Amino acid sequence: MHSVLASAGKRGKVTEISMHPLPAFVLGFATAAAVAWIFRRRGLRRIRGLEQEKEELLTEESRVFTFLHEIGGGLGSERAGRRLHEDIVHGLARVVGADGAALYLVDPRTGTMLVPAAVTKDCLPLVEVPEARRGQAVGALSSWLQLTAVPASGGLLGSCHVSQVPVNGGPLHGSGPWAMPVAEVQDGMTMMMAPVTSGGRRMGVVAVVQRAGKAAFSAHAFEVFRSAAEQSAFALASAMVQQEAMEKRRIEEELRSASEVQRILLPRSAPQLGDYEIEAANTPARVMSGDYYDYIRLDDDHMGLVIADVSGKGFPASLVMATCRALLRGVSAGELSPSAALGAVNRRLWGDVREDTFISMAYCVLDRNSPRIVMARAGHDAPLLYSSRTGEVTALKPPGLALGVDSGKVFDRVTRDFTFEMESGDCLLLYTDGVNEAVNGEGDEFGMDRLIETFRVSAGKGVKAVVEAFQRDVRAFAGAQPQSDDITIIAVRKR
């Protein structure tokens, strides 16, 4: 490139001066370098921005993984419930950078209230604060907040629980789209809420809050929160299932222990009394039984033999059974009148059992030196007597009122001693209604006809044969149908 300059020489001529091409090249190079430098600076800033974004994503990912690890770590432990609740609220607040978080769960007792399961320290209230407390600082509200349940169908939390829709809401004010009576600390706060639901099981609501003056939660933060809330719901549901299973195992273990205690209360072996052979069996419908039988030594020559059936089944009936056993043993010492003994038991039971609870009982007194047996029947199924001489079965039906029905006046008037004799080879059967009321798959009952026939066929073979025959025949009749009532049998045979 050439530049032309005009100047006056000695002779008045214009002189042309030529510029060297190197300075022009330098100028072009400098311009290109400047442009490249500008683009490089922009690229570096973009790279640094991408690196910062990558670092933020990695940090967020780390927080999420830490959160998932924490809520999974407490499952299966005895402290799973409380620990998991704390891990959820602290983890959620950390993951989305919130000022606080709270977890409210449905009260299992009512099903209509949400109770605070865990609330982070200084978390802004998500519930309506009483007017008298609206000027208090967050710290002063903390204890009140930890103890305050809210309706599961109203307010911020209740609305989320009912709608089952996650919310990214706020700011909260006394008017506008997010209007409610607000405390000073609540004014202008923002929040995200999500239902805690898994497998159709509505367990409650989880929420995070941000103080006024801070940026509201972004759409990205809301997506992260929703995902974390879903994982929290899954963890809570798993923990509840585990807790329920642990509680079920604990109850089953306690019932097994109680059942063992109850079995100890039943006679370990049949007593020996003169010419009488005795055999008995008790088969509970559940772990615990409301039936019982007992042998009571009255004196050297007399033995009390009792069978009873408490209304109902399971643990409540077994407690009444244990009470009856203790009372009868207490009043029977030296008492040879069965009706007198049962009257004393009835007077002690009256008022101590529920109105819908009663006890049927048959009580016999055997004498080693006599074939005579004295019996009282307190509303119990009629005992059966097999005659070896005739092969006939007779139902023994002396009158009597069930225990626990009357204070004593009617019971003592109705319930009387009944005396009968047993000849050699005769057999007496006492049973509870679980035998004749056993049901098969078609809904038919074992019934009295089958009961009498089983007894008639087996009575001449001995007391063990009688008990085994009933266990076999009732089981065969019921088939796969579960046992619906306790079954107790006592067989007494005169040699």
Burial class (CB in 10 A: 0-12, 13-18, 19+), 471: middle
Measured distance CA(382)–CA(448) in Å, rounded: 11
Tell me if 448 sits within 8 A of 435, measured CB to CB.
no
pLDDT for the residue numbered 210: 93
pLDDT for the residue numbered 250: 86
Question: Of the candidates 186, 212, 245, which is a domain's last residue?
Answer: 245
Residue 227 located in a structural domain:
yes
Q: Which residue has the tokens 């000022």?
A: 99
Q: 3-class DSSP state for residue 322?
A: helix
Question: Of the candidates 245, 277, 303, which is a domain's last residue?
Answer: 245
Among 80, 87, 76, smallest CA distance to 118 is for 87
Give per-residue pLDDT as tens, 148-162: 999 999 889 999 999
Question: Of the candidates 245, 276, 298, which is a domain's last residue?
Answer: 245
User: Which distant-in-sequence residues (6+ apart) come within 8 Å of 162 by Cβ?
Assistant: 152, 153
363 shares its domain with 274: yes
454 shares its domain with 376: yes
Among 263, 405, 365, 269, smallest CA distance to 321 is for 263
Report the first-to-last Cα separation within the chain, whole angstroms: 145
Give per-residue pLDDT as tens, 208-236: 999 998 989 999 999 999 999 999 999 89
Domain containing 400 equals 267-494
pLDDT for the residue numbered 47: 62
Tell me if 377 sits within 8 A of 400, measured CB to CB.
yes
Residue 42 located in a structural domain:
no
Q: 3-class DSSP state for residue 97?
A: coil
Q: 3-class DSSP state for residue 137?
A: coil
Residue 49 located in a structural domain:
no
Question: Rounded to two decimals, what is the model's pTM?
Answer: 0.62
pLDDT for the residue numbered 182: 76
pLDDT for the residue numbered 122: 79
For the chain, the domain total comes to 2
pLDDT for the residue numbered 278: 98
Q: Which residues in the chain land under pLDDT 70? A: 1-80, 174-179
pLDDT for the residue numbered 65: 46
